[in-house]
Amino acid sequence: MTTSIREQIMQAFEEKLSLISGVSGLTVSRNRSAAIVSYPSLVLYDGGESHNNGNSGATMVSMRVPVTGLVNAANDTALGPALNELYAKTVQAALSDVSLGGLAVDISLIDAETDLQLDVSKPSAAFMAEFEIQYWIAPGDPYSTAP
């Protein structure tokens, strides 16, 4: 079975995030609907997309990929540094090869937000970073790259 360009990109992006080093015990998952029980965690989601057909004979796809990062800490003092370290490592990994090995044209961070105290049993926090991945497909053919 042929794999769509979109799925190839999502797999490559997930692989990229799973290679983050320096964050002990990091778990990376995709489209997770179950509760997070392991910290720190990253969850990426298959987001929406827009298409620009232009005059080039190819379609530029702009796909949004939300990534949620979750951390907890022994105390409030350690929470901010833990959250910021996971966020920084996530952004660094996501933007390290914006072509995803030749599948994409560009990756950019378009929005990020934070939330504190998600788990009342211990200090915890989360961020949501939304990335945009741009790539070409042949008009009407999500299985073929172009140009």
What tens digit of pLDDT does each residue of 101-137 get? 999 999 999 999 988 766 667 888 999 999 999 999 9
142 found inside a domain? no
Given this model, what pLDDT does residue 138 score?
92
Q: Is residue 14 a part of any domain in this protein?
A: yes
Provide the domain limits for residue 89. 5-137
The model scores a pTM over 0.85 = yes
Q: How many domains does the chain have?
A: 1
Distance CA 71, CA 26 (A): 9
Residue 134: name the closest of 62, 65, 64 by CA.
Answer: 62
Parallel/antiparallel/unpaired status of strands 27-30 and 124-137: unpaired
Q: Give the CA count within 13 Å in the CB-facing half-sphere of 118.
A: 19
Q: State the pLDDT at residue 120.
A: 64
CATH of the domain at 83: 3.30.70.1700
pLDDT on residue 122: 81
Q: Is residue 143 assigned to a domain?
A: no
